DNA sequence: AACTTGACGGTCA
DNA sequence: ATGACCGCCAAGT
């Protein structure tokens, strides 16, 4: 029997590949996963990473505008922002200024397995 | 089994 | 540019 990876694990695999100092979007990951995933599903999957013992860089996933929409799911008020700033991202409010420049698209970087 | 709720994104007024 | 709607689909209630 071929065990297919669960949706969660597929998302984790991609997020784990986001390089230090780079970011991607929920939609980009969803697109990479194909019809099996909508952007909402990606967010939902990341929500369960806090139960995982793995260290998944979920802070490197933002919405398509480079806005830190998931900041509330991190401990503290600005944990997500601080993590990204420490990686060289320029952030004003909850908006990544150099988003386009730092954007990492799995559809381009990960051609196929 | 039905209804609501999202770490979203694209479209349209 | 801003805001409302709708599709997405698993989980929780």
What six digits make up the tokens of A89?
């991202």
CB contact burial A23-61 (16+ within 10 A = b; e otherwise): bbbbebbbbbbeeebebebbbebbeebeeeeeebbbbbb
Residue A71 inside a domain? The answer is yes
pLDDT in tens, A33-47: 886 679 999 999 999
Total domains in chain A come to: 1
Query: Domain span at residue A80?
Result: 2-105
Residue A110 inside a domain? The answer is no
In strand C, the nucleotides that come within 7 Å of a protein beta carbon are 7-10
pLDDT at A50: 85
Residue A113 inside a domain? The answer is no
pLDDT at A36: 67
CATH number for A60? 1.10.10.10
pLDDT at A3: 54
pLDDT at A112: 56
Is the Cβ atom of A24 within 7 Å of strand B at any atom? no
pLDDT < 50: residue spans in chain A: none
Distance from residue A101's CA to nucleotide B11's C1', rounded to whole Å: 26
């Amino acid at each position: 029997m071929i065990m297919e990876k669960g949706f969660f694990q597929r998302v984790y695999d991609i997020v784990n590949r986001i390089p230090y100092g780079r970011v991607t979007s929920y939609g980009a990951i969803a697109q990479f996963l194909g019809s099996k995933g909508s952007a909402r599903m990606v967010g939902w999957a990341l929500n369960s990473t806090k139960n995982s013992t793995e260290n998944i860089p979920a802070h490197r996933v933002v919405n398509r505008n480079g806005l830190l929409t998931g900041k509330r799911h991190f401990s503290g008020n600005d944990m997500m922002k601080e993590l990204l700033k420490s990686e060289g991202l320029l952030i004003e409010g909850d908006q990544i200024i150099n988003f386009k420049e730092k954007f990492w698209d799995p559809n381009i970087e990960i051609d196929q397995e």
